[in-house]
Structure 1
């Protein structure tokens, strides 16, 4: 059935085009999102008052829908701060150094360790931690610095962040935007498989590209590497080269700030076993820790990963053992957040004793600060795309319950469905391409409201599942902008720690990552 398009539909499409153009031009998309929300509301209602209130309501509706995401990020970050006070974060990765017998093993260890830490805490804190603890050992084992950068970027900013299986920020945003909020877990499961396929291809091809450069283990490799430019100089040069006007958007700046805080002291932390602990804000505090704190740090370095592995096992158990109750809606995120909060309290009392009554609250505040700095700009963007969904447009426009709510994006897709190829593969690769375009801004998550909304709108006319298209779009957006294919993303921090030119890292990663994305999308079409 043909759907007549009015002026408001064209204004909405102009808003979408403006946001995509801003991403391509590497500009922050918050301003065009707010302006577009105002323009759409004004066109629809013809009321200046409605248009002004819609700007506020858009972000408010998005905040209501996404606050559980902010809360999980805050609690996980507060746990990391508590673990840093005990040095438990470094203790968790220190055993991996012992198995780095050669460059080939070091490549795998760097990838595995970065993936595990990034899966639970995101790559922002994972990159400084891995660089401080494992990178010097990997260089001494014969792994070239470029190989280290490839392993860290693909495993952290690529595999772990694109699936976001534990914290589940990305799947939740994709599901909400697609109008299938109850299928966030399904998107997470599909994204996990697709991220592993993409990562396996990218890591494999990346390893083949640097394999000939792997040398025999020798302390001279580390000496030559450390004799190069300082970390701070490397970061400053690369940021000036590829992103002189970089804004305060999302994870890219946060990763840079964390990287700059560590500097040289972090890279030599392995020379002070038991006495180096990353303090809040990413700086390295070198102090003689009390024996009791070291003991508690060692205990929590073991207990914390075990606790979260048990949470993951609990989430996966119903898929393996039929009959077990599955977690519904946001229950999975609640399990992760609740576990993080309880572990944070244990770590805080272990570190501070009676003072923990105050420091625990400080850790939570720091967690919320990080959460809103990382994700706060998503709210007005999500608010604009929620305006295109009939499920949310009524609340944003302040319409009464009896009034018909506009379904702008879905109505536009239905009007143009005769132009859309009746092929699941064509639509899936189109969503992947849109996701990669939205990732050009270097943030990764900013495009998820768009890819999610497109997935929900295209699924009925293409015959594909909305959850599959959302997972594919998530792969394109996060792998591109999260820190593997865009030089002005948080890849700058990875290249800075490895002390290699960031543009060279992009050139090395582009063929492997794109090949992995193409293969994973093809698998998604065949499987689902």
Structure 2
């Protein structure tokens, strides 16, 4: 089918190219996205009023599509704040220290704990939790600081965040832009994330094991002494800021999430890294009661979410319980988080728990908008290329179809490209990697999702498969694994290693995993 390209198509294409170039220069892309939205709407309608309105409408449409994501982030963050106030967050991971006796066991425990915490709560709380409780134990068990940082980055910012299977922020954004079901993207992203993560972890283990030493308390003393002398100080001149060499310091990376937007990593680390607990008299009745309550919640939270996982699996693979539909899983995670928040706040401050609960919720909402807020104008620009969303953004009547700007461009270009699933899949992966260069894990998902929805039918590949591939490239790059100006700075700060060294060491294992997972996706899905 021949498509007649208009000036609006070319302006929209120019906007995409400018955004990609801005990402490559490691700059924030909110302003280019807003300007491109204005110019596209102005060119399409010929009205400056429509152009100005589109700036607001694009973010509004994106907010309507993505607000459930903001809400779940807010609830989970609020719950973690209440648990941290009790001291229950550290108690949840403390038992794992008992099995970390040598390098290999420490490697496996670090990987498993980081992955599970990151899968349910995002990598943001996983880094300070693991950093404060398990990293020193792993160092004493013989692991090198560099290998510790690699494991945490690969399992948290990489493997867990790239699938985001429980909270489903990333699959939701990818699926909305691609026009497919979020569960379809989430299921495939989970498989691909395990392939990438498993490959990267295996290579890391084989390469780094020779640097491990016999367990000794001297290793911990040496590690701390090097940090005191500044040997392990994390600094990256290209980002303008460096992570500290001591865990209590709050690293402030220049890039984006572990989860979304250009400011997320810095915000996430600053909000969720708690100062050390003040020394309290362990013999007082109040302290004994506080510790008892903290232990109870340290057991309650994992058990509650374990029960949810069991229910989720029963619904997915059996007929014992009805399967969850759409966003039900994320809603249940949020509901559990809300109830735990109320209970934890009441246990901490019986007299004023109503106010305490409200404070935690406000903190959660503030964090959610700081973490994800800049995704809205970016998503709005890419939504204007989708006919399902273009109408409301451009002020077109609901009875009339909106323009399919992006799909028209893809239809025009595809006749000049090889109609090959491998070429298209690796192209989407490359775009995802480039989109992640700004240090933001989620800002490129609307682009890769929209391209997947447009290119999938042309090459006979399920759009959800291409969206999952693009999601892998975007988050493994920008989420904080293979670029140094992302939240990898926080990981390097807790592991007390140079962030550039950590990024370089992670690059080849992760790229090997991404290539393998993309081949698998084309051949199997």
TM over 0.5: yes
Whole-Å Cα distance in 2 between the matches of residues 365 and 379 of structure 1?
20
Against the structure 1 CA distance between its residues 381 and 233, is the aligned structure 2 distance closer, same or farther, given a 3 Å change threshold?
Answer: farther
Counterpart check, 1:399 vs 2:396: yes
Deviation at 1:299, TM superposition (A): 1.2
- Match of residue 184, structure 1, among 167, 182, 188: 182
Match of 1:435 in 2: 432
Out of 275, 280, 290, the position equivalent to 1:283 is: 275
| 1:371 positional shift | 0.3
Q: CA offset at residue 134 of structure 1?
A: 0.5
Q: 2:138 aligns to what?
A: 138
Q: For residue 503 of structure 2, give the secondary structure of its aligned residue in structure 1.
A: helix
For the Cα contact (< 8 Å) 1:178–1:455, is it kept in 2? yes
Task: Work out whether residues 79 and 341 of structure 2, in 8 Å CA contact, stay in contact via their aligned partners in 1.
Answer: yes
| Residue number in structure 1 paired with 2:208 | 210
| Displacement of 1:312 | 2.4
Deviations 1:395-440 (CA, angstroms, capped at 9, x unpaired): 0011113434101001111122212322222211111111011011
**What displacement does 1:287 show?**
3.7
Higher helix share: 1
Residue 259 of structure 1: how far off its partner (Å): 5.4
**CA 260–416 in structure 1, closer or farther in 2 if over 3 Å, else same:** closer
CA contact (8 A) 2:183 2:326 kept: yes
Asked if the contact 2:139/2:219 (under 8 Å) is kept, the reply is: yes
Alpha-carbon distance in 1 for matches of 2:192, 2:267: 30
Displacement of 1:126: 1.1
Once residues 459 and 345 of structure 2 are traced to their aligned partners in structure 1, the CA distance between those partners, rounded to angstroms, is 52
Q: Are 1:108 and 1:151, in contact at CA under 8 Å, matched by a contact in 2?
A: no
What is aligned with 2:474? 477
Question: Is 1:70 the counterpart of 2:67 in the alignment?
Answer: no
TM-score after normalising by structure 1: 0.92
Does residue 337 of structure 1 match 2:334?
yes
CA displacement 1:450-482 (0-9 Å, x = unmatched): 011011111111110011111111001000111
Two-structure CA RMSD over aligned residues (Å): 1.9
Partner SS for 2:277: strand
Give the superposition deviation at 1:232: 9.2
Q: 1:374 aligns with which of 365, 371, 390?
A: 371
Task: Report SS of the residue matched to 1:227.
Answer: helix
Alignment of 1:236-275 (within 5 A): 237-240=234-237, 242-244=239-241, 247=254, 249-251=256-258, 254-256=264-266
Larger deviation: 112-121 or 224-233?
A: 224-233
Unaligned runs of 5+ in 1: 262-279
Partner residue in 2 for 1:194: 192
Distance 1:67 1:435, change over 3 A: same
Which position in structure 1 is the counterpart of 2:224? 226
Task: Compute the displacement of 1:333 (Å).
Answer: 1.4
Which residue is 2:450 aligned to? Answer: 453
Q: Aligned-pair distance for 1:305?
A: 1.2
TM-score by length of 2: 0.93
Following superposition, the deviation at residue 379 of structure 1 comes to 0.1
1:307 equivalent among 298, 304, 309: 304
More deviation, 300-309/388-397: 300-309
Structure 1 counterpart of 2:150: 150
Contact in 1 for aligned 2:162/2:193 (Cα 8 Å): yes
CA distance 1:367–1:259, change in 2 (3 Å):
closer
Matched-pair contact (CA < 8 Å) for 2:177–2:453: yes
Q: Is residue 348 from structure 1 mapped to residue 345 from structure 2 by the alignment?
A: yes
Contact (CA 8 Å) 1:28, 1:247: kept in 2 or not? no
For residue 480 of structure 2, give the secondary structure of its aligned residue in structure 1: helix
Q: Distance in 1 between the 2:109 and 2:256 partners?
A: 31
> 1:514 & 1:17 partners in 2: Cα distance?
24
Match of residue 90 from structure 1: 90
State how far apart, in whole Å, the 2-side matches of 1:477 and 1:316 are: 28
1:95 deviates by 0.6
Counterpart Cα distance in 1 of 2:508 and 2:288: 49
Number of residue equivalences: 507
Q: Which moved more, 1:66-75 or 1:94-103?
A: 94-103
Residues 1:389 and 2:380 aligned together: no
In structure 1, what is the Cα distance between the partners aligned to 2:26 and 2:302? 37
Q: Hey, what's the Cα distance between the residues in 2 that align with 1:385 and 1:255?
A: 23
Secondary structure in structure 2 of the residue aligned to 1:128: helix
Partners of 2:16 and 2:168 in 1: CA distance: 25
Name the CA shift for 1:381/1:387 in 2 (closer, same or farther; >3 Å). same
